[in-house]
């Protein structure tokens, strides 16, 4: 006798996964950015290759191997901007992203199987041959994310190498600031789009590496170790969706 298959576990719409973070986007989500109800690029935050993220599957922070686009959060957190807390509903439900479709609280295997595959990149959402590609490439070269963590270590260790690291970090912070200013003033790209085109600002990247960034009247900016920062403070998030989560 054939056993009757058990019904799929139903989503109880508790909203936990949406409050813990919007999804990372995949190639099959590109449709969200075309057509009548297209999302603006300002709805997306770019996490650049080399940024440390908490990997839910591995259970530890690792540098991103490839850039990752994530739907923006609200309320100063990562609660998905498309989640309506009052009705506990998704504003994109009929066309919600692939990770949202894959996630089930009762069985995270389907999400774990797909979360690192076919991720959408900035270049996939920009016109081929547009001058903005060169701007992004120049920014990547002048503000290389993968340099931040090792330079932060040198700065914390002190000595001449620490001072040199502080100089390099300061140059990176100033270059990042200049790029964002230029995007707004010369290219007319409003600040709400900058986290898509250039990723998170230097202050956020430095904070994830335990550094604070302050304006300085003489030097332009000052980069210092944050005395309260502890690497282990980046606590795991039980949510698997957006299997890579930003560090605080
Ligand atoms: S897109 Fe919808 S289902 Fe996905 S995290 Fe946002 S609110 Fe939740």
Q: How does pLDDT run across 34-54, given as a tens digit for each residue?
A: 999 999 999 999 999 999 887
Mean pLDDT computed over 166-188: 94
pLDDT band at 131 (very low <50, low <70, confident <90, very high): very high
Domain contains 48? yes
Domain contains 59? yes
Mean pLDDT computed over 156-168: 96
Domain contains 4? no
Domain contains 1? no
Match 């996490």 to its residue by tokens. Answer: 47
- Interatomic CA distance for residues 143 and 221, integer angstroms: 15
Nearest-atom index, ligand 1, CA of 15: 8
**Ligand 1 pocket, mutate which of 13, 17, 23, 79 (most atoms under 8 A from CB):** 23
Number of structural domains, the chain? 2
Are 50 and 173 found together in one domain?
Answer: no
Are 105 and 164 found together in one domain?
Answer: no
In 3D space, the residue among 23, 227, 20, 18 whose CA is nearest the CA of residue 119 turns out to be: 23
Q: Are residues 97 and 25 in contact, defined by beta-carbon separation less than 8 angstroms?
A: yes
Ligand 1 centroid to residue 19 C-alpha, Å: 9
Are 218 and 239 found together in one domain?
Answer: no
More confident: 30 or 57:
30
The pLDDT score that the predictor gives to residue 3 is 55
pLDDT band at 143 (very low <50, low <70, confident <90, very high): very high
Ligand 1 centroid to residue 101 C-alpha, Å: 9
Are 144 and 216 found together in one domain?
Answer: yes
Q: Average pLDDT, whole number, for the chain?
A: 87
Are 120 and 136 found together in one domain?
Answer: no
Give the other-Cβ count within 10 Å of 59's Cβ.
9
The pLDDT score that the predictor gives to residue 121 is 97
Rounded to two decimals, what is the model's pTM? 0.87
Q: Locate 229 and state its tokens.
A: 């920062």
pLDDT band at 228 (very low <50, low <70, confident <90, very high): confident
pLDDT tens digits, one per residue of 47-102: 999 998 877 667 778 889 999 999 998 867 788 999 998 999 999 999 999 999 99
Are 57 and 103 found together in one domain?
Answer: yes
Distances (CA, A) of 178 to 16, 175, 185, 221: 38, 5, 10, 12
Ligand 1 centroid to residue 61 C-alpha, Å: 24
Are 97 and 163 found together in one domain?
Answer: no
Domain contains 6? no
pLDDT at 242 over 70: no
Domain contains 8? no
Are 99 and 174 found together in one domain?
Answer: no
pLDDT band at 244 (very low <50, low <70, confident <90, very high): low
Ligand 1 centroid to residue 97 C-alpha, Å: 7
Are 138 and 220 found together in one domain?
Answer: yes
**Ligand 1 pocket, mutate which of 16, 77, 97, 104 (most atoms under 8 A from CB):** 97
Ligand 1 centroid to residue 18 C-alpha, Å: 5
Question: Which residues does residue 71 pair with via DSSP β-bridges, in sequence order?
Answer: 44
Nearest CA to ligand 1 atom 1: 96
Domain contains 238? yes
Are 23 and 119 found together in one domain?
Answer: yes
Are 90 and 186 found together in one domain?
Answer: no
- Interatomic CA distance for residues 237 and 73, integer angstroms: 15
State the residue range of the domain holding 50.
16-125+234-246
Nearest CA to ligand 1 atom 2: 90
Are 218 and 159 found together in one domain?
Answer: yes
Domain contains 11? no
**What is the DSSP code string of 58-111?**
TTEEEE-SS-EEEE-EETTTTEETTEETTTTEETTGGG--HHHHH-BTTB-HHH
């Amino acid at each position: 006798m054939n056993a009757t298959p058990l019904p799929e576990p139903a989503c109880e719409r508790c909203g936990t996964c949406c409050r813990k973070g919007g999804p990372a986007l995949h190639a099959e989500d590109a449709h969200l950015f075309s057509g009548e109800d297209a999302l603006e690029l300002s709805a997306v935050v770019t996490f650049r290759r080399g940024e440390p993220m908490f990997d839910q599957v591995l259970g530890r922070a690792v540098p991103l191997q490839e850039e990752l686009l994530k739907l923006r959060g609200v309320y100063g957190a990562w609660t998905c901007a498309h989640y309506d807390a009052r009705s506990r509903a998704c504003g994109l439900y009929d066309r919600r992203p692939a990770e949202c479709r894959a996630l089930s609280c009762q069985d995270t295997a389907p999400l774990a199987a797909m979360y690192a595959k076919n991720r959408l990149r900035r270049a996939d959402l920009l016109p081929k041959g547009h001058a903005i590609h060169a701007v992004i490439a120049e920014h990547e070269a002048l503000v290389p994310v993968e340099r931040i963590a090792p330079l932060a270590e040198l700065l914390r260790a002190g000595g001449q190498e620490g001072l040199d690291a502080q100089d390099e970090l300061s140059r990176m912070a100033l270059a990042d600031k200049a790029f964002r200013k230029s995007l707004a003033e010369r290219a007319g790209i409003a600040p709400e789009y900058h986290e898509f085109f250039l990723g998170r600002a230097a202050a956020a990247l430095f904070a994830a590496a335990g550094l604070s960034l302050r304006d300085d009247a003489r030097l332009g900016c000052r980069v210092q170790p944050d005395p309260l920062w502890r690497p282990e403070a980046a606590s795991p998030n039980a949510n698997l969706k957006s299997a890579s989560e930003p560090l605080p």
